Every structure is written in C-alpha cells, then in structure tokens.
Amino acid sequence: MNAIPEDVVDLIGKPCFPQVSDCQVEAGAIRSFAAAVEDGFPAFWTDEADNMLAPPALLSAWNRSLMWAPEGKGEGSGLALHFLLKRKLGLPRAVVAETETELADPIRPGVRVKCEQVLVDVGEPCTTRLGEGRYWTIRVEYRCAATGAFFGAETMRFFGYGREADT
Amino acid sequence: MNGAGEWFAPVKRKVSARDIVMGAAASRDWQRQHHDIAYARSMNLPDIIMNAPTQTGWFHAYAMDWAGPGGRIARWRLKMRRSICPGAEVVLSGKVDHVEANIDWPDVEWVWLGLVIDTGGERLSEMALLLARPRLATGDCWDIPTEKWCPPPLAR
C-alpha cells in the first residue's frame, strides 16, 4: 500500500459529492443535541423561531443522510468522499484524528444546508496504535441551499487502517 | 471582564454509554463504533467511543457557559488524542489564552481559549477555540452582520 492510486490523486483539490440536506434544520433536532451535550445556551432552547440558532457542533450533521428512506436505503453519513477513499485505499477502518472548523452565517431553523467535499491531501503510509494505515484530509464547505450564504467549513484529518486482507 | 491567563473552574463528569449514544444519534452519526461495542472492539478500540460532534458540543457548552448568551463561536480545532469511552471519569478545564480588540466591531473582543478533557492525568481531547464576546453584559455578538464578521486565524 505504498503508492497512492492515480484515481485518488486525481480527486485532490476537486469539489465533489454536492449534496443538499434531506430535511430542514428544525427545533427538535437542535434541542435533542443540546440536551445530549447538556448545553443550556438560550438560543438552542427558545420558542421564538427567529431567535433560535443551531449548535455550531452540528454544522456537519445536517448533511448526514438518514439510515433509511422510502426511496432507498441511506448510508447514514454525508461524507461520501471519505468512504470512497476507504474503498480505494483498501483501508476499511477509519477514525477522525483532528477537525478544524470556521463559522460564518448562523444556521437557523427552516433552512436546508448544501455541501461539497474536497480531498485536500493523502499522506504516506504510517503506523499508529491502531495499526498500519494512512492519514487523509477532507474539507467540506456548507452553504444555505436557497441563498448560497456561507455557513462554514470543516477540515477533517482521518486515519484509515485495517488492510482488507486483515478483515 | 476577564483577561488572558484566566483559568476556568474545572468540571468533572463520568462518561456514560448514554452520553456517547445520545450524542451520536443527535448528530445523526450512526457509525457503529459509537453504539456497537463488538464492532468497536473489532476496530481495536476499547469500547464504543464518543464522536467528534459530541466532544465538540461538550467543549462548546463549557466555553459558552463562561462567555454568556451574547458570545459567538468563530473557529475551533479539535484534537482527539485518546478515545473517550463509557466509564471514564473526565475533567474539563481550560483557560483564556489571548484577548484582542475587534477592529471591525468595537463593542466586541476576540477571545482565544485552550480547552482540554483529561482523565487520570492523561489528555483525551483538546480544543483551541476562538469566540467573539461582547464587552458589555448587554451586548450581543449575533448582531454582527455578515460583512463585519471577520474572525482572525486560530493561530496567535
């Protein structure tokens, strides 16, 4: 697993997998997350829709598809590029090592979020306590599906491991 | 107002499986390492692990409890050094690393925070966080219009 496959190299720097969230941002989802992390920030709990904000930690969540839908089984993850890389690199297991996020316009109930994914880099083979593998970095930009307003971007560094022969 | 070097009061928590599963579900994350212990162990993980949005939510709640309702998060970097699993007794702590005037919106200052989750002297997770905070208790950083919202870099 030394050389990076050409079709993976070709992905670097090219926006791909455009996607629009399968539902609108809504108060119930905001409150469920705020409850899960015990966050009492008033804008997550208000009954005034105009003053409600989505937790910044949910920036990427709106574009994770449902696990099931009437028209077909979903994947449960919005990061199609990440799963494509796992397949192409033969590294079926992966964990997130680091994320960096920037925020712009706030996300409020009623909007749909669209995103695009970009492969930033793929590292050389290396070994961690999880096993042999590689790091790779993906940047995802999130915008309002209706207006294009920039909500923010997330840059994630993954470690993929567990060669297919071992699984 | 407090300045650089201020330490936050530590908060202790015992991580439960429910914390991990509830956070993953509420962030629509059904990757099996967040709810299926047998699958997690097949990944060489010790147990189900807390996902990134849940860790981020814990850090944000801790920071915004300090910043107040007028505070507004601008950027963060999350480094997950060790898995956070059920049963872990963790401590959240943090401090103000740097404070700087906001030249685009003078009623607001930029604040850089360094936050960590530790257990038994071991670092599990850390976050560098940049937020805007109003200079006055009645101020609100959510009033800053898009064209004036220009957060500086995380690195200082």
The answer for A 16-35 residues in CB contact with B (under 8 A) is: 29, 32-35
Mean pLDDT of A31-55: 96
Substitution target in A23, A31, A37 with the highest count of B β-carbons within 10 Å is A37
Q: What is the per-residue pLDDT across B24-54, written as a single tens digit (0 to 9) for each?
A: 999 999 999 999 999 999 988 999 999 999 9
State the CATH number of the domain containing residue A86: 3.10.129.10
Domain-embedded: residue A68 = yes
CA distance B41 to B134: 46
First to last CA, chain A: 15
CA distance A1 to A44: 46
- B1 interfaces chain A, CB cutoff of 8 Å: no
Quick one: angle between helices A27-36 and B17-26, nearest 10?
Answer: 160
| B18 to A35, A67, B22, B34: CA distances (angstroms) | 12, 20, 6, 10
| B104 to A73, A100, B108, B134, B146: CA distances (angstroms) | 48, 24, 9, 13, 11
Token pair, residue A97, equals 């090592």
Mean pLDDT of A62-89: 84
Domain-embedded: residue A101 = yes
CB atoms within 10 A of CB B89: 11
Mean pLDDT of A50-66: 94
Q: Are B86 and B22 in contact (CB under 8 A)?
A: no
Domains and CATH numbers, chain B: 11-16+50-143 (3.10.129.10)
Predicted complex: ipTM over 0.85: yes
Q: How confident is the model at residue A164 (pLDDT cuts 50, 70, 90)?
A: low
By percentage, how much of chain A surpasses pLDDT 70?
93
Q: What is the per-residue pLDDT across B104-115, written as a single tens digit (0 to 9) for each?
A: 888 999 999 999
Q: How confident is the model at residue A147, as a pLDDT?
A: 98
Quick one: angle between helices B17-26 and B52-67, nearest 10?
Answer: 90
Domain-embedded: residue A137 = yes
CA distance A39 to A41: 6
Domain-embedded: residue A145 = yes
Q: How confident is the model at residue A56, as a pLDDT?
A: 98
Q: What is the per-residue pLDDT across B92-145, written as a single tens digit (0 to 9) for each?
A: 999 999 999 988 888 999 999 999 999 998 999 999 999 999 998 889 999 999
Q: What pTM value is reported for the model?
A: 0.90
Q: Are B152 and B102 in contact (CB under 8 A)?
A: no
Q: How confident is the model at residue B1 (pLDDT cuts 50, 70, 90)?
A: very low
Quickly list H helices, chain B. Answer: 17-26, 37-42, 52-67
CA distance A108 to A18: 21
Give Cβ neighbours of residue A70 (< 8 Å, ≥ 6 apart). none
Total count of domains within chain A: 1
Q: How confident is the model at residue A70, as a pLDDT?
A: 87
- A36 interfaces chain B, CB cutoff of 8 Å: yes
Q: How confident is the model at residue B29, as a pLDDT?
A: 93
Range of the domain at A48: 6-166
Q: How confident is the model at residue B5 (pLDDT cuts 50, 70, 90)?
A: confident
Domain-embedded: residue A1 = no
* Option in A41, A57, A106 nearest B53 (CB): A57
- B44 interfaces chain A, CB cutoff of 8 Å: yes
Token pair, residue B155, equals 């690195």
On the question of pLDDT at A60 being above 50, the answer is yes
Residue owning tokens 């994770």? A64
Three-state SS for chain A is CCCCCHHHHCCECCCEEEEECCCCCCHHHHHHHHHHCCCCCHHHCCCCHHHCCCCHHHCCHHHCCCCEECCEECCCCCCHHHHHHHHHHCCCEEEEEEEEEEECCCCCCCCCEEEEEEEEEECCCEEECCEEEEEEEEEEEEEECCCCCEEEEEEEEEEEECCHHHC
